[in-house]
Amino acid sequence: MVAEIQNQEKDRMGTAGKVIKCKAAVLWEQNKPFSIEDIEVAPPKAKEVRIKILATGICRTDDHVIKGAMVSKFPVIVGHEATGVVESTGEGVTTVKPGDKVIPLFLPQCRECNVCCNPDGNLCIRSDVTGRGVLADGTTRFTCKGKPVYHFMNTSTFTEYTVVDESSVAKIDDSAPPEKVCLIGCGFSTGYGAAVKTAKVAPGSTCVVFGLGGVGLSVIMGCKSAGASRIIGIDLNKDKFEKAMAVGATECLSPKDSTKPISEVLSEMTGNTVGYTFEVIGRLETMVDALASCHMNYGTSVVVGAPPSAKMLTYDPMLIFTGRTWKGCVFGGWKSRDDVPKLVTDFLAKKFDLDQLITHVLPFKKINEGFELLYSGQSIRTVLTF
């Protein structure tokens, strides 16, 4: 082990300040598979960090870029849920050093903007939600076949090495298993936080979760952790019910099982006591269904699934007037640099189990196979290892 660490140190000493040639999965254009290419990764500039990726999860958000549901420049390296090791740092970096185990953050935390300074805020102004595809100085660190390749959400993890701004990286416990805690970089934290941080689920309450993918299951885990007494999972795909029950759902149902609106079915089932609902799909119709399904006066509904871009929502304002609360949340409401290390520590203390969410582990070169598992509905989370 000591020899291995010394070799790693030598390796880092050998590459710091130099261009690194490595493999990456490049998207050259929309609706095309990933192409494994040899790329060049430039050294980090001031306040930047170059990371060797150890493991990265496949998230539906990455697919939004392929399908054009999310704005991006091409060619691009996507991927945003990962664990890695710091290879080198640019000048002025103080929060991480070479050799640190880290999680790159698609939601930065600059600790200076008005959002970061607000105790309830987490959507830092440095977030790249508009698909700029560059780092803070306006340029990219990736090139392939002589062309610049764009970054994705300040992270770009479908590559052996990436460069991120210091505000987009969190140092984590060195003993954390990379192929598991990478989920804390997006999917798990988003769902779990929606329940415990955004909705602030009360003990003994009734919760309903629409959409039982990886994030939906994480919402269920959060509701259970918060002490909810009844957790109802809803999905059209009944194959997902068994896993939902395993992570904490008390019952599951499909909207297809009744001709009545789902809000009526839930009201009858629960004696009209649904305190919290979560939409974890990103469909406009289910957002309104979820709102209508929580108690008309004291209910809270949280939009967790990313909505389709450039679409408008129509709903009856009486749904809100009677007292309901309708909330959104990004990354579960967590302040990324502050909270990600704490969530990793909680995982190591066995406060939650990420194994339930990971259905497949594949070598990085099989990335296209990993996306096929996502499309076919066979996987919850596929993790790629390097």
- Residue 2's pLDDT is 46
Digits of tens for pLDDT over the chain (386 positions)? 444 444 454 455 589 999 999 999 999 999 999 999 999 999 999 999 999 999 999 998 899 899 988 889 999 999 999 999 999 999 999 999 999 999 999 999 999 999 999 999 999 999 987 889 999 999 999 999 999 999 999 999 999 999 999 999 999 999 999 999 999 999 999 999 999 999 999 999 999 999 999 999 999 999 999 999 999 999 999 999 999 999 999 999 999 999 999 999 999 999 999 999 999 998 999 999 999 999 999 999 999 988 877 678 999 999 999 999 999 999 999 999 999 999 999 999 999 999 999 999 999 999 999 999 999 988 999 999 99
- Residue 10's pLDDT is 44
- Residue 165's pLDDT is 97
- The Cα–Cα gap between 121 and 243 comes to 33
Distance of CA 352 to the CA centre of its chain: 17
- The Cα–Cα gap between 31 and 323 comes to 43
- Residue 311's pLDDT is 78
- The Cα–Cα gap between 96 and 47 comes to 11
Strand-strand pairing, 206-210 and 230-234: parallel
- Residue 68's pLDDT is 86
In angstroms, the Cα distances linking 139 to 44, 45, 149, 166 are: 12, 11, 10, 15
Q: What are the structure tokens assigned to 86, written together?
A: 């710091």
Report pTM.
Answer: 0.93
- Residue 308's pLDDT is 75
The DSSP-derived string for 79-117 is: ---EEEEEEEE-TT--S--TT-EEEE-SS---S-SHHHH
Distance of CA 88 to the CA centre of its chain: 25
> Are the beta carbons of 76 and 151 closer than 8 angstroms?
yes
Q: Starting at the edge strand that comes first in sequence, how are the strands of the sheet with 20-26 ordered?
A: 20-26, 35-41, 142-144, 147-149
* Count of CA atoms in the C-beta half-sphere (13 A) of 156: 37
- Residue 13's pLDDT is 57
